[in-house]
Structure 1
Amino acid sequence: MCKIGAIILAAGQSVRMGKPKLLLPYLNRPLIHYPVSLAVEMDFARIIVVGGEHIQQLQSELSEFSNRITIIHNTEYKKGMSSSLKAGITAIEDELDGVLIFLGDQPFASKDVIQKLIREFKQLRNSKIVRPRYSMQPGHPILFDKSLFSKFHALCGDEGGKSIIKANEEKLLYVDFENTKLNLDIDTPQDYELLLKS
């Protein structure tokens, strides 16, 4: 049985937004609810949410999911996304065959996308990274095979997993989708205003 987990990155400092963006409301729910509730619906083997500066508010907002998720505190969140990836992988790596890494600020992350990524991963186990592409633009969430978990510990700064992907391009499979809205992330007040109008 192929066991897949999820890591949801929720420790960013929201510098461009000027306030904790994942706690901002959209349709009467905070933004972070959308990827978390989707991960819970997909019934991953484990779900790790990595929080940072606003960990207590995050725990409060996600209390309804407490029986299905594990929230961990990345105390080194100021070092950038790599610190959250390392914290998430450390919490999850011994148990799974692969992990999907979600951004916490993507309210339109799709069940259909996730199902297709996992299906391709299971069918083509020589593909160690399975990534969605929206109208030919690479996006998230990204599925990594367990054989690459150790590579995350060498990351630094705010680079995310780009260097791992670049070093393993021969093992990368893209799955294509047309709807670019599925890859929308919310970084600035302008992004948020557009979201509220959508």
Structure 2
Amino acid sequence: MDNQVWGIILAAGFSRRMGEPKLLLPYKGKSLIRHTLDECLKSHLDGMIVVVNPKIKNLVEESQIEGVNEVILNDFSNEGMSTSVKLGLQSLPDSVQAAVFLLGDQPLMTSREVNQIIKDYHRQPNCSIIQAKYEDGMGHPVLFKRNMFPHLLKISGDEGGKSVISKFKEHVYYSEMDKQVIPDIDTQEDYKLLIDGE
């Protein structure tokens, strides 16, 4: 099938600020990463790739669930997020015309946000980037069309797609989410707020 849209879940960080592997922490009966994966599986994505840090015990197994097309081991996680972005892109089949980037540490993200991005991608054929716009700022998910892939493959260090979004502002469509920005769970304080909000 042509014009496929796949998700790339970035889950290869070291959880340095958390002090323990955050993606395996429990929330509502399952790990943080499983919340992200399950919502992606409920969405209209045509396929999914998860990029993980092989040094984090049990993360590979936790990500290898039915519906995930491939789990990529990033042996260069210490060189920054750009390595995960590139590995994800390089693993996509040729039939994929757009990639939606998602973060493994956003358990409050739902299939609704993913589907809104995909819907706006189909509605805005002249835009090469679709970024989620929340009431209090920009965030994930972010979609890049295939014509943006070469630019993403040039990023380095710990930058994600921000530099590409800045460079091609006129090609960005902001997808209105009508809610507060979805938080990353980076620290013990973030996790406590998440648990307290259950």
TM-score by length of structure 2 reads 0.93
Q: Secondary structure in 1 aligned to 2:140?
A: coil
The residue that corresponds to 1:183 in the other structure is: 182
8 Å CA contact 1:136, 1:176 repeated in 2 = no
The residue that corresponds to 2:13 in the other structure is: 12
Alignment partners' CA distance in 1, 2:61 and 2:123: 39
The residue that corresponds to 1:123 in the other structure is: 123
Q: Which amino acid aligns with 2:145?
A: D
Aligned-residue offset at 1:124: 1.2
Q: Which moved more, 1:54-63 or 1:137-146?
A: 54-63
Per-residue CA distance 1:54-105 (angstroms, 9 max, x = gap): 4551122234x14533101011000010000000000015231101000000
Alignment partners' CA distance in 2, 1:93 and 1:173: 25
Alignment partners' CA distance in 2, 1:98 and 1:17: 32
Q: Which amino acid aligns with 1:85?
A: V
Higher helix share: 1
Q: What does 1:4-153 correspond to in 2, within 5 Å?
A: 4-54=5-55, 56-63=57-64, 65-92=65-92, 94-153=94-153
Alignment partners' CA distance in 1, 2:169 and 2:136: 16
Q: Which moved more, 1:93-102 or 1:49-58?
A: 49-58
Aligned-residue offset at 1:143: 0.7
Instruction: Give the direction of change, closer, same or farther, for the CA distance of 1:94–1:184 in structure 2 (3 Å limit).
Output: same
8 Å CA contact 1:55, 1:73 repeated in 2 = no
Q: Which amino acid aligns with 1:42?
A: S
Q: Secondary structure in 2 aligned to 1:138?
A: strand
8 Å CA contact 1:13, 1:53 repeated in 2 = no
Per-residue CA distance 1:123-163 (angstroms, 9 max, x = gap): 11111111111114001010110111111211110011111
Structure 1 gap ranges (5+): none
8 Å CA contact 1:22, 1:31 repeated in 2 = yes
CA RMSD of aligned residues (A): 1.5
Q: Secondary structure in 1 aligned to 2:6?
A: strand
Aligned-residue offset at 1:176: 1.6
The residue that corresponds to 1:172 in the other structure is: 172
The residue that corresponds to 2:157 in the other structure is: 157
Instruction: Give the direction of change, closer, same or farther, for the CA distance of 1:183–1:153 in structure 2 (3 Å limit).
Output: same
Aligned-residue offset at 1:188: 0.5
Alignment partners' CA distance in 2, 1:67 and 1:166: 33
